[in-house]
Amino acid sequence: MNELSSFWSGWVIVLTLGSVFGSYWLLASVRKGHKPSNTEKVETTGHVYDGIEELDNPLPRWWYWKFVILVVFSLVYLALYPGLGNFKGLLGWTQINQYEREVAKAEQEFGPIFAKYASTDIETLSQDDQAMRLGQRLYSNNCAICHGSAATGGYGFPNLTDNDWLYGGAAHEIKTTILDGRVAAMPAWGASLGENGIHKVAQYVMDLSGQATDTSVLDEGKQLFTTNCVACHGQDGKGNKLFGAPNLTDNIWLYGGTEQNIKQTLRNGRAGQMPAWKEILGEDKVHIVSAYVYSLSNQE
């Protein structure tokens, strides 16, 4: 975090300390010196409602000293911890070193458990109930935000529970995807094909997956597909996991399989990215998550 300029640091200090001392001054300035005896007449504030007068009694002593203690506590806190501009506090505490200490503590406690599981191959580990409970928690904390708590994916995020994999569903392929991430790019064809060409290719792609189409343009659509699309999706349209090119002959669509969705994909292209988790989770945790994801589509 960048430090404040000298002016703004001083401004924060003045406002903070001014608020603390100003609050105490306000309290002290309105405090009565003693509680009146039973024989003394108590002054009123002058407020009267429905025959009831508001008496001007002093604050309870316990309330006053409680406030004083809070003021002293706030000053001690500001001396020990950051809170006064660029002043770091006498303890040198920061949220970063606090986080690092917590992570180190967790690694010391749970690291041996992760290391033990990391020595087991993914296929075998996926049958270990205890390891899979741990994998599910890791998945929920890191992966569910995109792929869903049930791992069934969503628009632009693949379903992890079926057997349709853009980059392969073997154990080592899943682990590679999680470790290093993936970057996918479907180029936009709108400018080169034109709207008429987009329509023809879309009809052919729909026909590949068994959908009803405009049969009058299938031959032209196939020709355009062969010229522009087979390099990634293959001559038969079944995709290529080397590029992450999807299979167009099934009924599984990352961005929707309606005519409108397909045309939008062809016209504007798509760009997707799976982040790399190697530096975030570490290889041992990735190994466990990989086994969990593998288990989702390889259940007995």
Question: What pLDDT digit, counting tens, does each position of 12-47 carry?
Answer: 999 999 999 999 998 888 776 555 566 666 677 778
Residue closest to 289 by CA, chosen among 102, 55, 122, 61: 122
Among candidate residues 66, 93, 120, the one where a domain is terminated = 93
DSSP 116-133: HHHTS-HHHHTT-HHHHH
Domain count, the chain: 3
Among left, alpha and beta (phi > 0; psi -120 to 50; other), residue 31 is beta
Chain centroid offset of residue 112 CA: 27
CA pair distance 179, 271, nearest whole angstrom: 20
Domain membership of residue 1 (yes or no) is no
What is residue 215's DSSP assignment? G
pLDDT in tens, 56-104: 777 788 888 999 999 999 999 999 999 999 999 999 999 999 999 998 9
Residue 274, CA distances (Å) to 176, 179, 281, 292 in order: 11, 10, 14, 17
The pLDDT value given to residue 36: 58
pLDDT at residue 236 tops 80: yes
Give the model's pLDDT for residue 60. 81
| Domain of residue 170, residue span | 96-181+276-296
Confidence check: pLDDT of 8 > 70: yes
Residues 135 and 197 in one domain: no
What's phi and psi for 190, nearest 5 deg?
-60, -45
Determine, yes or no, domain membership for 111.
yes
For residues 15 and 73, membership in a common domain is answered with: yes
Residue 110 lies in a domain: yes
Q: Is residue 65 one of the residues assigned to a domain?
A: yes
- The pLDDT of residue 293 is 97
The reply to whether 10 falls in a domain is: yes
Mean pLDDT of all residues in 255-276: 95
pLDDT band at 182 (very low <50, low <70, confident <90, very high): very high
260 in the same domain as 192: yes
Question: What's the whole-model pTM score?
Answer: 0.72
Give the dihedral sign, CA 115/119/122/123.
negative
What is the model's pLDDT at position 50? 84
Q: Are residues 127 and 171 in the same domain?
A: yes
Whether residue 281 sits in one domain with residue 140: yes
CA-nearest of 145, 175, 140, 169 to 157 is 145
How far are the Cα atoms of 271, 279, 283, 289 from residue 179, in angstroms, in the given order? Answer: 20, 8, 7, 10
Task: Show which of 26, 58, 93 is a domain's final residue.
Answer: 93
The structure tokens listed for 52 are 């009831």
User: Measured between alpha carbons, how far is 147 from 140 in angstroms, rounded to an integer?
Assistant: 10
Same domain, 265 and 281: no
Q: Which domain CATH number covers 158?
A: 1.10.760.10
- The answer to whether residue 252 sits within a structural domain is yes
Q: Which of 60, 93, 126 is the last residue of a domain?
A: 93
pLDDT (average), residues 157-185: 95
State the average pLDDT for the chain.
91
Return the pLDDT at 49.
84
Does residue 177 sit in the same domain as residue 286?
yes
Counting residues of the chain whose pLDDT is more than 70, the rounded percentage is: 95
Is 258 found in the same domain as 281? no
Per-residue confidence (pLDDT) for residue 55, from 0 to 100: 77
Q: Is residue 241 part of a domain?
A: yes
Residues 141 and 284 in one domain: yes
Residues 6 or more apart whose Cβ sits within 8 Å of residue 32: 56, 57, 58, 59
Other residues' Cβ atoms within 10 Å of the Cβ of residue 124: 11
pLDDT of residue 121: 95
**Same structural domain, 30 and 41:** yes
141 and 289 fall within a common domain: yes
Residues 70 and 195 in one domain: no
* 3-class DSSP state of 55: strand
258 domain-assigned: yes
